[in-house]
């Protein structure tokens, strides 16, 4: 799969996530999209580290992945375990933690052989987000050795950047349930951005999410500032 194909798949995923739905459904869409679009990713899951340190799998593509994740949590080792628990772990958007051959990886001597026995030979973990003491990670598994190598090695990170926006979107939708006025403000801001910068609705929302995250400002406040500026006057175009 080339960059154009992946970008098209990501835009399709963003469009589906822009529709009303709960967080669980959105997480499931993310792992299914990873399985379908990331080269080498035969299976995928999302790990959440809660503020109390408890780890759980919030979405997975199969029971095999659930078992593999449980082994990571039980043994306290593995690519995704490191990605969401270690203080010096990969930050969101940076290079992933991966294993080319889980059965012979000295970094995870207990977990590696056991997950390989399940048929999962390669693994890659990426931290998607960190909020306070909580963290979210994307876990990709391959049935073949060196599944995430080659010319398309950077595509998992590209997927993660799109998934990060989608995850932020899903979290915002959940937090805004019942907040009709806030949703209307965000809708107006999206419309203004679409008109002002000739964006699609999903690209406009991605802009809102990134601005909110980069400036540590609530999405509602970002939207209100954009609405206060208003659309571009017709005679100034």
Place of tokens 């154009």: 4
Residue 35 confidence class, pLDDT cut points 50, 70, 90: confident
Q: What is the CATH number of domain 3-152?
A: 3.30.450.40
Domain assignments of the chain as residue spans, ordered by start: 3-152, 176-236
> Between residues 189 and 151, which one has the greater pLDDT?
189
pLDDT digits 0-9 by tens, 85-129: 987 655 554 556 889 999 999 999 999 999 999 999 999 998 887
Yes or no: domain 176-236 corresponds to CATH 1.10.10.10:
yes
Same fold, 3-152 and 176-236: no
pLDDT at site 2? 54
Q: What is the mean pLDDT of residues 55-66?
A: 95
Instruction: Please say whether the beta carbons of 32 and 26 come within 8 A.
Output: no
Burial profile 137-166: b = 16 or more Cβ within 10 angstroms, e = fewer? bbbbbbeeeebbeeebeebbbbbbbbbbbb
User: Is pLDDT above 90 for 145?
Assistant: yes
Tell me the C-alpha distance between 236 and 19, whole Å: 33
């Amino acid at each position: 799969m080339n960059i154009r194909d992946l970008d098209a798949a990501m835009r399709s995923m963003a469009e589906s996530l822009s529709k009303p739905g709960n967080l669980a459904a959105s997480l499931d869409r993310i792992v299914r999209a990873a399985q379908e679009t990331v080269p080498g990713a035969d299976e995928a899951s999302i790990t959440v580290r809660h503020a109390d340190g408890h780890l759980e799998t919030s979405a997975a593509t199969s029971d095999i992945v659930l078992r593999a994740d449980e082994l990571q949590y039980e043994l306290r080792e593995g690519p995704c375990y490191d990605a969401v628990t270690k203080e010096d772990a990969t930050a969101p958007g940076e290079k992933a933690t991966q294993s080319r051959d889980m059965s012979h990886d000295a970094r995870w001597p207990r977990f590696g052989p056991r997950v390989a026995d399940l048929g999962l030979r390669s693994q890659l973990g990426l931290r998607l987000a960190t909020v306070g003491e909580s963290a979210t990670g994307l876990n990709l598994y391959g049935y073949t050795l060196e599944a995430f190598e080659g010319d398309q090695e950077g595509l998992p990170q590209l997927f993660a950047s799109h998934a990060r926006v989608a995850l932020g979107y899903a979290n915002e939708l959940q937090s805004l349930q019942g907040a009709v006025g806030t949703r209307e403000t965000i809708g107006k801001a999206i419309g203004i951005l679409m008109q002002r910068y000739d964006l699609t609705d999903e690209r406009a929302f991605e802009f809102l999410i990134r601005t909110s995250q980069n400036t540590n400002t609530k999405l509602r406040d970002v939207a209100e500032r954009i609405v206060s500026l208003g659309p571009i006057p017709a005679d100034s175009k």
